[in-house]
Structure 1
Amino acid sequence: MKNTLCTLTGIVGSIITTLLGGWDTGIATLVLFMAIDFISGIAVAAIFHNSKKTETGTLESKAGWKGLCRKSMTLLFVLIAYRLDLSIGTTYIRDTVVIGFMANELISIVENAGLMGIPLPSVLTKAIDLLNQKSQPS
């Protein structure tokens, strides 16, 4: 049973990695940032009761599933960017998408740290506020 599970996990991991254009530093960093963001978001809700994703500020499974769906969609965008690269013979579209999503995850991690009460340099909070304002429709 153990060997079967390990084999299936390896096959699924290989397929996903191939679809995303390989397991390089960019993908590894993006997945790491996504995991840190998800875990820190859970901590904000479960321990600090300060989540902006729920009305009560506490942990709710619905908010967690939404977060996982968003992260899955992020990986689908990486897949699309990789396929575009293959279609037009370039190598930079996927990298650009990965870097953009890494920046987005990093901003979310910093926001979670702020919600935990970790003092943040004012330049970081101002930059996040500016990015959030620009992303909101006027």
Structure 2
Amino acid sequence: MDHLKKYGINLVTAAIGTSGKEATIGGYIAAAGVFLSGLLGGWDQALGILLALMVVDYATGVLGAAKNKNLNSDIMYWGGIRKIVVLVVVGLGAMIDNWIQPGAPIFRTAAIYFYTGREGLSVIENLGTIGVPLPRAIHDFLTQLNGKGKDTDADSGSSKK
């Protein structure tokens, strides 16, 4: 019986910590998570994938900049701000959905899918920058995307030579 009592005490201590401070901090973090999830229209797999890609994009971008020896805190800061703005757009999409047609997340889903595609492309570009081998088709596609807008003169519409 003492064995079960010690196990119970260890379990409770692990859950709330040795003081109430850990439980309080955990409660605040949980409340913030619930609040943000509500603002973003709820937690689903699409939002989870978007957030995962945002984190991976940021990390691979930093690694690519470190490899090329051009780390810049200003660029990193504004990259983070852009990620926050993406989440604001998703939240606004959720609000518009609740206003126009509650229960039908059309604008939220469109925003998440759009930004998931952009983040995915950015991750692939960053992987190429880091030196991770990419399939030839992806490499050619990214090269083609990179060349768009560089071959024509916007003012005259003629090709640059």
TM-score when normalising by structure 2: 0.73
2:85 match: 73
Q: Which runs of 5+ in 2 are unaligned?
A: 1-20, 155-161
2:43 match: 23
2:48 counterpart of 1:34: no
Deviation at 1:129, TM superposition (A): 4.2
1:42-78 deviation digits (Å, cap 9, x = unpaired): 11122x12xxxxxxx4222111111100000000000
**How many percent of aligned residue pairs carry the same amino acid?**
28
* Number of aligned residue pairs: 128
Distance (Å, rounded) in 2 between the aligned partners of 1:79 and 1:131: 29
Higher RCO structure, 1 or 2 (CA under 8 Å, sep 6+): 1
Q: Which amino acid aligns with 1:98?
A: I
Deviation at 1:131, TM superposition (A): 4.4
Say if 1:66 and 1:8 are closer, same or farther in 2 by CA, change over 3 A: same
Aligned residue among 100, 122, 136 for 2:136: 122
1:53 match: none
RMSD: 1.8
Structure with bigger gyration radius: 2
Q: Which runs of 5+ in 1 are unaligned?
A: 50-56
TM-score when normalising by structure 1: 0.84
Aligned residue among 96, 101, 117 for 1:84: 96
Deviation at 1:123, TM superposition (A): 2.1
Distance (Å, rounded) in 2 between the aligned partners of 1:130 and 1:70: 25
Distance (Å, rounded) in 2 between the aligned partners of 1:124 and 1:92: 30
3-state DSSP of counterpart to 2:42: coil
Distance (Å, rounded) in 1 between the aligned partners of 2:28 and 2:53: 25
Distance (Å, rounded) in 2 between the aligned partners of 1:131 and 1:32: 24
